[in-house]
Amino acid sequence: MFEILRKKQISPEGFLIRIKAPQVAQTARPGQFLILRVSETGERIPLTIVNWSRSRGYIDIAFQVVGKTTYLLSKLKEGDAIIDLIGPLGNPSKIERYGTVAFLAGGFGAAAVLPIARAMRKKGNRVLTVLGARSKNYLIFEKELKKTSDVLIITTDDGSKGIRGFVKDGLSEILNSEKIDIAYCIGPAVMMKFTSEETRKHSIPTIVSLNPIMVDGTGMCGSCRVEVGGKTYFACVDGPEFDAHLVNWDLLLSRLNYYKDEEKLAYESILKQR
């Protein structure tokens, strides 16, 4: 059992949870994730490991309520336990001295960007971050990303804070005055698709962290199958990071919709029961 040590609401549907998980904290690295289950009959969902303390034996996750399992997770309180959790999973990010690294974070993509940006800064890179959300209440980790970035640009779809527009508009702003050596683009698949089309136009090598549906997280079930550069990979063991400019985005987007009707039914039914 993994005890919830702390819980904080960070956006209208977003939560940060600190979990006691000394073994996971021992080996967690930026770019990695875990898979958890909220109940014995529940599904397993992947979430990024945002932060950890090896000495205090905890890890932090941040998630947005979008369906049944994230809803049930959001209802757990401090002192409750998560019954099942496995991690760290996936390959860690390649933290090297690139020069100038741009982080393009959309919505809850900021949860995955934060540990990578921190590590890149520590390595001596210049860090430029664009943080985007639909409106100002949905911006997460703004304070933390400001601290870890040489430049932070905010974008909101409705113009309630920063530039009115999308992350790719923040990228255009940066490109007026900066040369980017590598970009990390993390967020909803559709945001990663369109933002990385922009970086391709400017010949900026770009890494994305893919978010297909996952079940086991160990390369056994095939549910996280993605196509990159014409080859099939399992995002849980071969990724989750890939070259953005080689990803078959249409396949990823269509696979994310496979269970849309069932997901909607499950969410509606759990809301009715509560």
Ligand X SMILES: Cc1cc2nc3c(=O)[nH]c(=O)nc-3n(C[C@H](O)[C@H](O)[C@H](O)COP(=O)(O)OP(=O)(O)OC[C@H]3O[C@@H](n4cnc5c(N)ncnc54)[C@H](O)[C@@H]3O)c2cc1C
Binding residues vs ligand X (CB under 6 A): 33, 45-48, 62-64, 66-70, 108, 111-112, 211-214, 240, 256, 260, 263, 266-267
Min dist. Cβ of residue 127 to ligand X (A): 20
Min dist. Cβ of residue 237 to ligand FES (A): 6
Residue number, 61 or 95, with CB nearest to ligand FES: 61
Task: Identify what 175 binds: ligand X, ligand FES, none; CB under 5 to 8 Å per kind.
Answer: none
Min dist. Cβ of residue 68 to ligand FES (A): 18
Residue 232 sits in the site that holds ligand FES (CB under 6 A): no
- Cα distances (Å, whole numbers) of residue 197 to 45, 98, 168, 240: 28, 21, 9, 19
Residue 220 sits in the site that holds ligand FES (CB under 6 A): yes
Residue 222 sits in the site that holds ligand FES (CB under 6 A): yes
Min dist. Cβ of residue 240 to ligand FES (A): 10
Residue 234 sits in the site that holds ligand FES (CB under 6 A): yes
Min dist. Cβ of residue 31 to ligand FES (A): 16
* Of residues 235-264, those binding ligand FES (CB under 6 A): 236
Residue 221 sits in the site that holds ligand FES (CB under 6 A): yes
Total residues contacting ligand FES (rule CB under 6 A)?
12
Residue 43 sits in the site that holds ligand FES (CB under 6 A): no
Min dist. Cβ of residue 213 to ligand FES (A): 8
**CA 149: distance to chain centroid?**
18
Q: Select from 135, 160, 172, 223 the one that contacts ligand FES (CB under 6 A).
A: 223
Q: Which stretch binds ligand FES (CB under 6 A): 1-9, 49-57, 222-230, 263-271?
A: 222-230
Give the DSSP letter string of the chain. -EEEEEEEEEETTEEEEEEE-HHHHHH--TT-EEEEESSTTSPEEEEE--EEETTTTEEEEEEE--SHHHHHHHT--TT-EESEEEEEESPPP-----SEEEEEEETTHHHHHHHHHHHHHHTT-EEEEEEEESSGGG--SHHHHHHH-SEEEEEETTSSSSEES-HHHHHHHHHTT---SEEEEESSHHHHHHHHHHHHHTT--EEEE-----SSSSSSS-TTEEEETTEEEEHHHH-SEEEGGGB-HHHHHHHHTTTHHHHHHHHHHHHHH-
